[in-house]
């Protein structure tokens, strides 16, 4: 719910966010069922809803296949940061900054 919520009132809500809001009370009911009801009642519910469970398992598998792993996301972020730093150090603006600062080798930034 929180991952997919709209950032602004004008932003169109993500379909998974809408689904999460619509099924929130149903999920709370299921949580109560599996936390507080007897094992027989839990087994009965599972037996009655095997098609729904199978459908959800398929959806989760598809979503997991399309979602990058944390390691892949971290690698992507790290590569982006490294590329940005490389571009900064190679930029003409940074070279000018270093050239100017080298003229003030005895100057402290905190001097007033």
Condensed to tens digits (0 to 9), the pLDDT of residues 46-79 reads 999 999 999 999 998 988 887 888 898 899 999 9
Residues 64, 72: Cα–Cα separation, whole Å: 13
The rounded distance, in Å, linking the Cα atoms of 39 and 30 is: 13
Residue 45 and residue 39: Cα distance in Å, rounded? 10
State the pTM of this model: 0.50
Q: What is the pLDDT of residues 74-107, one digit of tens each?
A: 999 999 999 999 999 999 999 999 898 888 877 6
**b/e per residue 34-67 (b: at least 16 CB within 10 A):** eeeeeeeeeeeeeeeeeeeeeeeeeeeeeeeeee
Maximum CA pair distance of the chain? 81
For 17, phi and psi rounded to 5 degrees?
-65, -45
pLDDT digits (tens, 9 = 90+) for 32-43: 999 999 999 999
Helical axes 50-66 vs 39-48, angle rounded to 10°: 80
Contact 33, 45 (CB under 8 A): yes
């Amino acid at each position: 719910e929180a991952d997919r919520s709209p950032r602004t009132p004008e932003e169109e809500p993500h379909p998974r966010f809408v689904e999460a809001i619509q099924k929130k009370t149903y999920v709370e009911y299921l949580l109560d069922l599996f936390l507080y009801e007897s094992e027989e009642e839990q087994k009965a519910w599972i037996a009655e809803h095997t098609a729904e469970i199978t459908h959800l398992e398929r959806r989760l598998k598809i979503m997991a296949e399309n979602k990058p792993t944390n390691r892949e996301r971290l690698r992507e972020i790290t590569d982006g940061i490294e590329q940005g730093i490389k571009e900064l150090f190679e930029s003409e603006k940074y070279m000018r900054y270093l050239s100017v600062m080298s003229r003030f080798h005895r100057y402290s930034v905190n001097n007033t």
